[in-house]
Amino acid sequence: MTSTRWTPDHGLDYEPVPYRPARLPLEESLRTAAWLRERMDERRTVRMFSREAVPEQLVLDAIAVASTAPSGAHQQPWTFVVVKDKEVRARIREAAEAEERISYQGRLGEQWLDALRPLGTDDYKPHLTDAPYLVVVFEQRFYLEADGSTRKHYYVDESVGIAVGMLLTALHLSGLSALTHTPSPMRFLAEVLKRPRNEKAFAVIPIGYPADDCVVPNLVRKSMDQVIVTI
């Protein structure tokens, strides 16, 4: 088979490396795709966590998966802060609940509050201290050199969004539950976690096992013909 070099004259200073991912037999591809589709359809966002400990390796492995995400100019503009410390989790909960109180008391506006009503969310955020891990995802708005100089990062939101999607997928397939939590505004997270000035909080992801009495909203996902247009 012929292939075209994508950069004939751009002066790459390295030799591209061969890429030969295993070609799966069609049957195995189809079986895996169907299995994955079924498993991922079982994922639910969880807000009621057990306090049961979680093997740290599962969280680290899921972050390793997330960090394989494609990113603008391969800059991998993300930092995952793994918060196990009880006191720090309590401080994050306190600050998040203070912001959410203002949000739910009207800052969100009627339309937003109406949209949230089916989820039954409010300013009570016990998951921030019940879940044994919080992974706070930061996006690096720009690259900060040790000498304080900066370089632009590209497609930061898109890159970090893809990485978080992969994180959630890995956690679910590893048997863990998670919540994509975006207390707003999130500035307090960079302060509490003492992040450098190029980092902005993207999401807080409590991770753990669901509580024994965990319930989730009775939601229905869109059907395939509602989300796919084939031309």
* Interacting residue ranges for ligand IYR, rule: CB under 6 A: 100, 103, 116, 119, 121, 181-184
Closer CB to ligand IYR, 99 or 139, in the complex: 99
Closer CB to ligand IYR, 45 or 75, in the complex: 45
Name the minimum Å distance from CB 229 to ligand IYR. Answer: 25
Residue 154: partners with Cβ closer than 8 Å, 6 or more residues away: 72, 73, 75
Closer CB to ligand IYR, 17 or 219, in the complex: 219
* Two tokens, residue 47: 């807000």
Name the minimum Å distance from CB 176 to ligand IYR. Answer: 20
Name the minimum Å distance from CB 99 to ligand IYR. Answer: 8
Can you list the alpha helix ranges (DSSP code H) found in 69-219? 86-102, 110-116, 127-130, 156-173, 187-192
Closer CB to ligand IYR, 30 or 119, in the complex: 119
- Listing DSSP states for 103-141 in one string gives IIIIIT-HHHHHHHGGGT--S--THHHHSSEEEEEEEES
* Two tokens, residue 69: 């995400």
* Two tokens, residue 32: 């895996």
At 5, phi and psi to the nearest 5?
A: -70, 135
Closer CB to ligand IYR, 127 or 153, in the complex: 127
Closer CB to ligand IYR, 75 or 121, in the complex: 121
Prior bond to 25 cis, omega within 30? no
Q: Which residue is nearest to ligand IYR (CB)?
A: 121
Name the minimum Å distance from CB 69 to ligand IYR. Answer: 22
Neighbours of 92 (CB within 10 A): 25
Name the minimum Å distance from CB 8 to ligand IYR. Answer: 46
* CB-based contact 125:188 (threshold 8 Å): no
* Two tokens, residue 58: 């599962």
Residue 214: partners with Cβ closer than 8 Å, 6 or more residues away: 46, 48, 49, 50, 177
Name the minimum Å distance from CB 48 to ligand IYR. Answer: 14
